[in-house]
Structure 1
Amino acid sequence: MVHTCVVSGCRNRRTPGTALSFYRFPRDPERKQRWIAAVNREGWVPNEGSRLCSTHFISGRQVKNPRSPDYVPSVFTSAPLSPNIKEASTFEPYDKQEAQVEAANALLFLQGQGRLKEDHSHNHCHGDPESAASSLNSYDEEEEEEEEEDDDDDNEREEESVSESEDQIKEEIQLRNLCTQSVNYEASLNALKKENMELRESLEKMSLTEASFRSDPEKVQFYTGLPNYFVFETVMWLLVPHMKGDKNAKLSKFQQLLLTLMRLRLDLRNQDLAYRFGVKVATVTRTVHRIINIMFTTLVPTAVYWPSRLELRKNLPAAVKCSHPDCAVIIDCFTVSLEKAVSVDVNPRGATSTANTVAQSPHQAFVSELKYVIGVAPQGVVMFVSRGSPGNVSDKTIVQSCGLLCKLLPGDVVLAERDFDIRDLVGACRAELKITNSDHSDQNTRERASVVTAESLNVYKHVGRVIQMVKKRYSMLTGPVESPFTVIDRSSDVTTFDKIVQVACALNNLCISAVPLE
């Protein structure tokens, strides 16, 4: 292919035997624009066939190094003509048709030279063979260079086409992957949401929050001993006005009450409760003592009281109503062991008080257990609890000093399942003591016991289990009692454990009655 330099006034063209090189305009936009500016042809834009000869470069060839002066053509004053090409004036008459004829002649010349080269028997040719061979080789090199350039262009186009196709394929693959990932992400998201919901429900069940107790009666009963959340909320409503509202408190009022009930119900140690509620042991200790004091002053007077005779007779169970319609109370005793033996003061009248000091007077002695007298109404409600006394003190002494006799009215009947040596004390109140144990050796007692029906005897035994029910419901009453709870509170002259016993009985009264009314 014959190329003509595009510079205005330059007539150099690629012909057979020329030593000039012709360069296409660069693909780099910036460099290409600099070449166009150097050519300086107004309104002209190069095409694929536009070429620039090597005479417009200082070194005679283009250099791709941006730091070289031949990175952009710069010689445009007087472009020398190729020695193998005629003067420019000789080419002026030529038009495009003549240039095409010249190109065709050159092609025919090359074809003739090719045949001569193949025929080794003909060594002569027009002109000097060496110059012809040199010319042929030069032309072949130019043709090869041109073909290489064209091949490079085709390869670049093919590479660009292949690159575009690969990009499209990659985009499609990426799009498909994104769609697949989107579906996978959605499925994973739904699975995570489900897992999160299950974990929340599981955490809610394990947590000690108000919401978890409100919807789970079994949880309320296990941790507090109360039958349901309604009863728990009622106790809460009764105690809240007396609980201090500290904004900086780590435990809410609900948590304070729950912690105390868990202490009574499960007999958990303070360290265990501190871990469960995330507080210090000292906080647990203060909370338990404070809530116990509040319940002792507010809940106990409300739930543990001696009802009137009219109310007692109105609510008597049917079996008791037939056998002992005047029954006012059923009494019994129970003992609780101490974790550590403590000293007690015993005054001449028999009244006792516990302390953690060493015995210093003749009226002090060490004890390892406490005894309590409990009075239960025929329908199974605890109506009286004495203060704790040393376990070696007689029943008569406890009954005489605990205040039970002051509750009796003339004509009342006091039932007991074992022999209490208090018949004379009860008789002094013009009341009557009846022992329900038929194995008693006294003949009169056996005769009176024979009158008791089997049904009423079962009621007595059932009522007698109230103490076991209270202990079972609040394990702290089974002992051993920790030493800090045996210290007397100077403000009320009652030990903390005495308060705990009465609070446990009050909470037990809020549950279902031990004996049906009918």
Structure 2
Amino acid sequence: MFCLCVAAGLKERVLAGKFGVSTDTVSCVLITWSNYLYLVLGSVQIWMTREQVRRTMPVKFQQVTPNLRVIVDCTEFRRKNPKALTLHCETFSTHKSYTTFKALIGVAPSGAVTFASKVFTGPISVKELAWQSGILELLEPGDEIMADKDFFFEKALVAVGAKLITPPIKHKSHLSREETTRSQATARLRILIEQAIRRIKEYRIWDSPVPLTLAGTVNQIWSCCCMMANYQGPLNLEETSSTIVQAI
């Protein structure tokens, strides 16, 4: 029942009909298994040490960012509109123009998901999400973290001795050759995080708004999907690696 809901995206009413039980029973089963798998999978240490990252980093990637520890990005997914106007305002995303949940994902250069934040409501900014996610506490002096231009938290990284890698912001009519090369390589390396998010969202439960009955368990379900993505085999690293080398 849990797999049909999360992986196949079947609704609670459909599951109730298939299993011959009430929708309340379906909700109880889904919540129970979400909490159980969250505890089981959550006991697995997915954050990689610096040595593990370097040992598994593709050789071609080392030519671009040898000290890269993690690539991060935010993603949003819809939730059912709450009836209370106050709750609607608290979850409404101005970026998506509907109520959403938002989370931060991190992957190692090897393509493994190494960080999954808890779920936040839609109005939270990218900068605030990065602060509250807890990823800054995991970084060490000398680490590099790759992110989009929206992640303006360089000062926080300087405090821990880490460095933020983003595509260069164009301040003049043309970028220098070095900036262009760096921008192309960074963009191609960031394909990894996009592939990881796409794999997580292939769980069909995210195809439609999360029902209100599962709103209290969405954090557990999201974390389980992120961790289960690591058991689906490696991402398409060879194709990404070859494009990076062409850029540099």
Task: Name the TM-score, length of structure 2 as normaliser.
Answer: 0.82
Shift of 1:458: 2.8
Q: Once the two structures are superposed, what CA deviation does each residue of 1:245-273 show, in whole Å capped at 9, x if it has no partner?
A: xxxxxxxxxxxxxx211211121111212
Query: Any conservation in 1 of the 2:72–2:106 contact (CA below 8 Å)?
Result: yes
Shift of 1:390: 2.5
Secondary structure at the residue paired with 1:290? helix
Query: Any conservation in 2 of the 1:459–1:515 contact (CA below 8 Å)?
Result: no
Between Structure 1 and Structure 2, whose CA radius of gyration is higher? Answer: 1
In the other structure, the counterpart of 1:293 is 35
Pick the aligned partner of 1:483 from 212, 223, 228.
212
Q: Once the two structures are superposed, what CA deviation does each residue of 1:40-73 show, in whole Å capped at 9, x if it has no partner?
A: xxxxxxxxxxxxxxxxxxxxxxxxxxxxxxxxxx
Shift of 1:337: 1.7
| Structure 2 Cα separation of the partners of residues 280 and 365 of structure 1 | 31
Shift of 1:476: 1.4
Pick the aligned partner of 2:70 from 329, 337, 349.
329
Query: Any conservation in 2 of the 1:327–1:413 contact (CA below 8 Å)?
Result: yes
Shift of 1:504: 0.4
Pick the aligned partner of 2:182 from 414, 439, 452.
452
In the other structure, the counterpart of 2:195 is 465
Pick the aligned partner of 2:155 from 401, 405, 424.
424
Alignment of 1:499 onto 2:220? yes
Counterparts of 1:90-109 in structure 2 under 5 Å?
none
Query: Any conservation in 2 of the 1:382–1:509 contact (CA below 8 Å)?
Result: yes
Query: Any conservation in 2 of the 1:379–1:515 contact (CA below 8 Å)?
Result: no
Shift of 1:442: 4.2
In the other structure, the counterpart of 1:511 is 232
Secondary structure at the residue paired with 2:43? helix
Change (3 A) 1:455 1:385: same
Paired letter, 1:285? S
| Structure 2 Cα separation of the partners of residues 449 and 375 of structure 1 | 24
Shift of 1:451: 3.9
| Structure 1 Cα separation of the partners of residues 237 and 11 of structure 2 | 36
| Structure 1 Cα separation of the partners of residues 55 and 157 of structure 2 | 23
Secondary structure at the residue paired with 2:7? helix
Query: Any conservation in 1 of the 2:119–2:219 contact (CA below 8 Å)?
Result: yes
Alignment of 1:270 onto 2:21? no
Paired letter, 2:72? I
| Structure 1 Cα separation of the partners of residues 210 and 179 of structure 2 | 38
| Structure 1 Cα separation of the partners of residues 103 and 146 of structure 2 | 17
Shift of 1:395: 1.2
Paired letter, 2:210? V
Q: Percent identity?
A: 23
Matched residue count? 229
Shift of 1:449: 4.0
Unpaired runs of 5+ residues, structure 2, are: 93-98, 242-248
Greater shift after overlay, 328-337 or 455-464?
455-464
Unpaired runs of 5+ residues, structure 1, are: 1-258, 343-356, 488-495
Aligned CA RMSD, in angstroms, stands at 2.5
Shift of 1:290: 0.8
Relative contact order (alpha carbons < 8 A, sep ≥ 6): 1 or 2 greater?
2
Change (3 A) 1:461 1:417: farther
Q: Once the two structures are superposed, what CA deviation does each residue of 1:296-325 show, in whole Å capped at 9, x if it has no partner?
A: 0111331x6211100000001223211111
Change (3 A) 1:386 1:478: farther
